[in-house]
Amino acid sequence: MPDSPPDFSDAAPPRTPRPPPPAGRGTALRPANRFAKIHLAPDPDAGANLGPDHDPADAPDPRTQFFDDASETILSRNDSPDVAFTYGLNPYRGCEHGCAYCYARAYHDYLGWDSGLDFETKILVKRRAPELLRRELSSPRWVPEPIALSGATDCYQPAERRFRLTRACLEVFAELRNPVGVITKNALVTRDLDLLSELARWNCASVHITLTTLDADLAGALEPRAARPAHRLRAIRALADAGVPVGVMIAPVIPGLTDHEIPAILAAAAEAGAKTAGHLMLRLPHAVKDVFLDWLDVHAPGKKARVVDRVREMRGGELNVSDWGKRFRGEGVFAEQIHDLFRLAARRAGLAKPFPELSIAHFRRPGGTQLVLF
């Protein structure tokens, strides 16, 4: 761990030193829960009475805690026209990747926790996810269609190495041949090439790998526990070699920080074997804005004003707009410049084509009964 956090500024002005996040975490911030009337904040002078030899840096890093999620259903329905899928499946709530910009942080408020450090260290685990998925897909009421894995937090976050719920869900998808689209920024997805390639044989699987930046140092600060960019590119190559349709998702595009990398990211992904690409603009709902602005203060103070100004330019003067049709795209000159840059770079990289549609033709009920299409 370096003595001071990396600085991605053009020319960082002098500033009051801020403590970096705990090792391997995206933030040290604990923003107030928007539903709670009482907010507990650590006392900055708490160590003053612990003696002259006390060093705050000696405090133990917060350990990840896992909690059982007692959900009785596993598929979440989406009706937003901005999202390309109707059903999503999230085996975990909260995410150890610790991405400073993650819009899913705001969902932790519903659990009584915060969108900052709690989101990264308090993970709900849906141990019954495979069982619930089998039950829902086996129901006579289920009309087969593609399911997104995941819709919010990353299904291949570090917890997956321990709990293997994503793999168990893929086993259900493979048995029933229900199509599934995976999106992740973790190279752990290659562990499941056997299941994904089997699904791909029936045109029932696709994967998108998220790449925010090609700068390993920036990625390490911005997405501390996600796979580094080089590993994600190797995952694209492995998926493509295994016959799994694979694309790249640049999400989020951070104006003033990562938008200039769009052509290089698309070229690298195409070189690795990606066949299509997409992009989403930065969103900062609720306390996510506090976490991300704090990240800029720590890691890129010289770029903070430019990033914030451009986000406001794209969001009608605000840091977030939740309106359908606007939340993922933004508006205004800067947004259109980014979209134009993406379109041009995607054409040059050979990625400006739609992803092949997944098929429901081979879906079968438990026991092997084939779906008959009329």
The H or E element spanning position 182 is strand 180-184
Domain ranges of the chain: 65-350
Is the distance from CB of 187 to CB of 232 less than 8 angstroms? yes
Cβ-based neighbours of 45, under 8 Å, separated by 6 or more:
none
Q: Give the strand pairing for 147-149 and 122-125.
A: unpaired
**Is this prediction's pTM over 0.75?**
yes
pLDDT band at 183 (very low <50, low <70, confident <90, very high): very high
Q: Round the average pLDDT of the chain to a whole number and report it.
A: 88
Is the distance from CB of 148 to CB of 183 less than 8 angstroms? yes
Token pair for residue 369? 């009964």
- Predicted local distance difference test score (pLDDT) of residue 26: 84
Is the distance from CB of 333 to CB of 253 less than 8 angstroms? no
SS3 278: strand
How many CA atoms does the CB half-sphere of 82 hold within 13 Å?
A: 13
Q: Which residues of 18-50 are buried (b: 16+ CB within 10 A; e: fewer)?
A: eebbbebbbbbbbbbbeeeeeeeeeeeeeeeee
Averaged pLDDT, 215-240: 97
Closest by CA to 183, choosing from 98, 71, 279, 67, is 279
- Predicted local distance difference test score (pLDDT) of residue 283: 92
Alpha-carbon Rg for the chain in angstroms: 21
Q: What angle do CA 99, 100, 102 make, to 5 degrees?
A: 65
- Predicted local distance difference test score (pLDDT) of residue 358: 96
Averaged pLDDT, 71-93: 87
Q: What fold does the segment set 65-350 form as a domain?
A: TIM Barrel (3.20.20)
pLDDT tens digits, residue range 125-179?
A: 999 999 999 999 999 999 999 999 988 899 999 999 999 999 999 999 999 999 9
SS3 135: helix
DSSP string, 194-263: HHHHHHHHTT-EEEEEE-S-S-HHHHHHHSTTSPPHHHHHHHHHHHHHTT--EEEEEEEE-TTTTGGGHH
More confident residue, 26 or 203: 203
Is the distance from CB of 261 to CB of 251 less than 8 angstroms? no
Averaged pLDDT, 249-278: 97
Using the 8-state DSSP alphabet, how is residue 277 labeled? Answer: E
Token pair for residue 51? 């003696």
pLDDT band at 293 (very low <50, low <70, confident <90, very high): very high
pLDDT band at 368 (very low <50, low <70, confident <90, very high): low
